[in-house]
Structure 1
């Protein structure tokens, strides 16, 4: 049962499904906690046991503080969770995608907490709230350190805020170390970089304000988006061959919407316009995991991106 047909179907749920919904929707105990969300205050029981995440950033944050959700959505471009986190979630059940959630699958898991993205609609929120307390963060994904604020929000819901603060502190230290290595490897010039996703219909220039772009900036790269991305959009429209030069620069991080960045590079090499780019001629194209660099967010994803940046910095210093 997907959200696009939820309203009539939800009313028809009876028997065990209805009972599970009623039990899961009970209010929080007095010793629980209350969080301010996009749709108002939401109370959460003190002892959360069964968590469902409908957003990759929420899944990442939960696992980072030792919680393994019973349900999650697939990563974009995949049929399971992202590869960088997959080994830690062998028993987690898939309950939908970023576009559509299977409500019956969520109800069957009998969650006592549901974590979602800030983009969840009011209609979907109301449906999910009938199943369990549903937390929708109220952060603009384009504001500075939005992913850190989200991670702390989800950790607070799980009563693991102090653990998350320690995790984020470690990420900050690691980022500073990577930047120091970057400063030693490269002079002040030659640091302009772009992040692009190679698609069959044309390359997409990714916003430098998103999760991966913010980490690239923190590590020392000077991110650029050519001024062609509309406000509030995560990426540009597909670029024609004539406009492909907009992704040119000192460095190019190139991804597809799957885990294999090498596929993006091989596809791009079929384009004469791509081969003419200075960044290609200088061998400064870095193939990256598309699930990680263009879809994921959270502290574990940050650590995986920093691992890849260290490899890129080694290349930069050669």
Structure 2
């Protein structure tokens, strides 16, 4: 065999090997709108779900563009130092398609609520990952995290991030079991709006975390099936959320002002949960607007702080 023939044969084998390796490295995932394949060299990531941004931040993946959090024109405060210089490409309700195109993404990580019509447009820009879950299915946030992680070839990192949440939750549950009687663990989450308080579904991300640490998330049966929250409650109807514990979430300054005004009312002061000092004001951008490993740790911080204040 001549040297030239040998080199040609080696080159052909190498090309085949490289092609096979690349094919094996590409990832195909099952999504709400069918199977989607993401190339192994996907580095330019755009997230159109706050939860997806959290997941990427939890595993130190730089995101080129994302939607703004509810009640703001930028990302959630707890993620600002994780994604410096990120470009905003819309809101949870509306995507700026031109801005997404301008970023030339390799992959787009969207929310499970993305409509098919928008998916059809976005999928022409880049592989678009839409989880086949609903936010009111307990534990769906972990399924979403695993899907996003798998899509960019980071499944191991995602599992480590989720395990860290589970380990910490288990530690906090020990404190709950040791200090709070089992029949005194009902907890409500209310997002305070200018129109009044809305009760968040017990089946959302935060509810699943509360249950994981030993509380019993409740929504008073005030929600329509499949809805993430109730209609606004009047001050006179606050007694419907007078459980053992109450977390008061605000998204922005308007919500904070409304909550401050409510706290001065007799109706609020009469609540047993207020009298027992079992309330905590928390960040609504985390507690009522997103999910993910980093958000979980913020929520666990708040739970732990409330526990410490009431068990000293």
Aligned residue in 1 for 2:162: 168
Q: Distance in 1 between matches of 2:134 and 2:79?
A: 25
TM-score, scaled relative to structure 1: 0.87
1:22-42: CA deviations, max 9, x gaps? xxxxxx956411111111111
* Aligned positions of 1:35-74 closer than 5 A: 35-74=29-68
Residues 76-85 or 150-159, more deviating: 76-85
Aligned residue in 1 for 2:79: 85
Q: Which of 181, 191, 194 is matched with 1:187 structurally?
A: 181
- Structure 1 unmatched runs, 5+: 1-27
Instruction: List structure 1 runs of 4+ shifted beyond 4 angstroms.
Output: 259-265
Aligned residue in 1 for 2:18: none
1:243-268: CA deviations, max 9, x gaps? 21111111110011238986564232
Q: Which of 229, 234, 257 is matched with 2:251 structurally?
A: 257
Q: Which of 286, 291, 299 is matched with 2:293 structurally?
A: 299
- Structure 2 unmatched runs, 5+: 1-21
Q: Which of 120, 144, 153 is matched with 1:159 structurally?
A: 153
1:199 aligns with 2:207: no
Report deviation, 1:241: 2.7
Report deviation, 1:270: 3.2
Across the aligned residues of Structure 1 and Structure 2, the Cα RMSD in angstroms comes to: 1.7
* Aligned positions of 1:1-318 closer than 5 A: 31-258=25-252, 265-318=259-312
Report deviation, 1:286: 0.8
Maintained 8 Å contact 1:259/1:289: no
- What secondary structure, in the 3-state scheme, does the structure 1 residue paired with 2:30 have? strand
Report deviation, 1:185: 2.3
Q: Distance in 1 between matches of 2:146 and 2:258?
A: 33
TM-score, scaled relative to structure 2: 0.89
Report deviation, 1:305: 0.8
Question: Which has the greater radius of gyration?
Answer: 2
